[in-house]
Amino acid sequence: MKMQSHLGRARNLGASRNGVGPWWIQRLTSIALIPLSLWMIYSIIGLLGADYTAYQMWISNIGNATLASLFIVILFHHAQQGVCEVIHDYVHDKTKLYTGLILTKFLAAVLAVACLISIFKVAFGG
């Protein structure tokens, strides 16, 4: 029998074990993605049927390049955080849990960097 209060035993038993910080970040990225997604959809529709030169002119505009980069960073962070939350909730084996979390974060980072490199190469004519 342990000499510990009920509250002491209940601490750190939640799925995420790290409070409301990630929950708020998930909500803020969701809110940020609403206008960015609408802007991206509007831009893609406007570029339908355009050639590479038109796209290059569009992305070389500093505002478009900045918004596209912001969209990519927030999108991949939001997706990575959501997948990590699902992994935390449904994977109970510690090895698989940590492997899944590391792979998810690594994959999100690699894909985000690849997208950003693509944007900057096209924007700056590289």
> The CATH number of 20-123 is which of 1.20.1300.10, 1.20.58.1610, 1.10.260.40, 3.40.50.620?
1.20.1300.10
3-state secondary structure of 19: coil
Contact 85, 35 (CB under 8 A): no
Report the predicted TM-score, pTM, of the whole model to 2 decimal places. Answer: 0.81
Between CA 124 and CA 79 the distance in angstroms is: 28
What pLDDT digit, counting tens, does each position of 2-53 carry? 676 766 666 655 555 566 888 899 999 999 999 999 999 999 999 999 999 9
